[in-house]
Structure 1
Amino acid sequence: MSPMLLLVAYGTALIVFSLAGGALTQRVVMTHTRTQLAMSLVSGLMLGVAFFHLLPHAVLTLGIDHGLTTVMSWTMLGLIVMLLMLRMLHFHQPEFPTEAQASCDHDQEHDHAHTHSLATDESPKPIVPPGVSWKGVLTGLTFHTFIDGIALGAALLSASHGHEQQLVGFGVFLAILLHKPLDAMSIVGLMKASDTTASAQSKANLLFAFVCPLGAVLFYFYAAHLGTSAEVVIASALAFSAGAFVCIALSDLLPEVQFHSHDRVKLTAVFLLGILLAYGMANSTPDHTHTLPTALSSGR
């Protein structure tokens, strides 16, 4: 399948999953345990994609002799930018505002499994967590999902042709796909708790669903027409995205998970599963496993 067809297929799937996440806010019960399991899986997958997909291909694109410093610089920049966005807007932890959640403190004394329902018809009026604004969450997640789109577009352009390219793009796509519904649910849930209209919630959900594919398309066509300078831009985008992925996983998702002492074995197992999944995709073909050493030894 050509990169263009993959871009269309991935973009369509991301739109559908994002829209579904926002639309199901009033219909699906996201329990505390289910949310933590989803966050653990996404954390591991994002870390695996960053280290096994994005960074190696960024280095391969520029070559080890002249590109390593550039790749590491852009990786650090991506991490710093995302960290500043997280600290200013507090947007990435899935916020499902209910009275039940407000009473569930991040305390090591909670050794029992929480089964609080995060969205039920019988629940009292949802409570927005202190210091959290739906406008800030929407702004931050929009910026974050646009970076996701750039990462997807860069991944599809990072290899020449064939199965290896599809795996690189699929790894990034899967990491984005799994956490996009949670992001959409966070936005719509907070808007609902803030007494916004149903029409406003639908419009925000629709606009958010198209941001990631838009970022992928814009970057893809921009970099595809750069000619000889495309390699630097693609490698920089891959490295920047890797830094952003690492920051999201380590500074936001995993700390939220580790605050809960219950289900440690289950959460850890799912986290490792995400890493193994990314590793398996990166090493699923014999040709791919030998690409990095060959390229590094030749300075390419």
Structure 2
Amino acid sequence: MSAGSTHLVIYSVSIVIVAWVGGLIPLYFRGKRKVIHLFISFGAGVLLAAAFLHMIPDAARYIGSRLGLPILLGFLTLYILEKFIMTHPCPSEHCDYHRVGVSAFIGLSLHSLITGMALGAGILVPKLGFVVFLAVVLHKLPASLSLSSLFIKEHYTNARLFAYLTAFSLMVPLGAVSTYFFFENTSTTALGYLIAFSAGTFLHVAADDLLPEVHQHSHERVSRLISFFAGLFVLWLVHLLH
């Protein structure tokens, strides 16, 4: 088994576990919203830094100045998806953007499938895989938490909730595996376009889904801002070490 395939397996299994952890939080850790919001703020910093410090520069090495369009397409793909499905990973019980139940499951699953494509592409680029994996993990947990919270609010049975959560947890690995093996032997140009597209999706997730959390609730803004910059700082350190 190649190093890339090994990383693919390890990252995929880890993400499934993280998805389950996120889905179980609403069942066993009610009332811990402050910690969750800090985690989301940290994740926003990680996703932004992953896109700007790692993915976009790597894409530029392969496709040069042509990276603008695929970044924009990646951003718009998730924007349009969320506007039609109207769901995003938000832990608030009073979020106006959510549709409940199966609609949320479909929207977040498609979202996760695209995120998995970013992971698969990242693994194909030396030193980028772990950065993308970290960003995906920090986004996957609140997404799972959101989905589980919606199902609980609709009084789904635990068996039904676990079935949906299992299917949802497999979306990122599905996207990652299919992308990895499809692009494994492709040209660096195609890979560059895919990485740039993935960077655009990361920018949308950070800007539209996660960054608004940094600004909510004035009494927690300072702590959330610190958490956000901590996420940026961690990925900046990773950038320096690479």
TM-score (ref. length: structure 2): 0.92
Query: 1:202 maps to which residue?
Result: 162
Report the Cα offset of residue 30 of structure 1.
4.7
Distance in 1 between the 2:22 and 2:155 partners? 19
Query: 2:16 maps to which residue?
Result: 15
Q: Does 1:248 align with 2:205?
A: yes
Kept after mapping to 1: 8 A contact 2:98/2:104: no
Report the Cα offset of residue 132 of structure 1.
2.6
Distance 1:131 1:94, change over 3 A: closer
Query: Which residues of structure 1 form unaligned runs of 5+?
Result: 103-127, 160-164, 286-300
Q: Secondary structure at the match of 2:170?
A: helix
Query: 1:289 maps to which residue?
Result: none
Q: Does 1:158 align with 2:154?
A: no
Q: Secondary structure at the match of 2:29?
A: coil
- How do residues 1-300 of structure 1 correspond to structure 2 at under 5 angstroms? 2-62=3-63, 64=64, 68-69=65-66, 71-97=67-93, 102=94, 132-159=99-126, 165=127, 168-226=128-186, 230-285=187-242
Distance 1:218 1:30, change over 3 A: farther
Q: Secondary structure at the match of 1:225?
A: coil
Question: Deviation per CA, 1:177-228, whole angstroms, max 9, x where unpaired?
Answer: 12212211211221121122322211110011111011111001001133xx
Report the Cα offset of residue 82 of structure 1.
1.1
Moved more, 13-22 or 256-265: 256-265
Q: Which runs of 4+ in 1 moved over 3 A?
A: 128-131
Q: Secondary structure at the match of 1:263?
A: helix
Could you tell me the percent identity over the aligned residues?
28
Report the Cα offset of residue 259 of structure 1.
3.0
TM-score (ref. length: structure 1): 0.75
Report the Cα offset of residue 264 of structure 1.
2.1
Report the Cα offset of residue 278 of structure 1.
1.2
Distance in 1 between the 2:239 and 2:18 partners? 24
Structure number having the greater helix percentage: 2
Kept after mapping to 1: 8 A contact 2:89/2:142: no
Distance in 2 between the 1:253 and 1:148 partners? 15
Q: CA RMSD in A?
A: 1.9
Kept after mapping to 2: 8 A contact 1:48/1:279: yes
Distance 1:252 1:182, change over 3 A: closer
Distance in 1 between the 2:38 and 2:189 partners? 37
Distance in 1 between the 2:89 and 2:142 partners? 9
Distance 1:154 1:274, change over 3 A: same
Distance in 1 between the 2:173 and 2:73 partners? 23
Report the Cα offset of residue 140 of structure 1.
1.7
Q: How many residues align?
A: 241
Query: Which residues of structure 2 form unaligned runs of 5+?
Result: none
Report the Cα offset of residue 263 of structure 1.
2.1
Distance in 1 between the 2:130 and 2:49 partners? 13
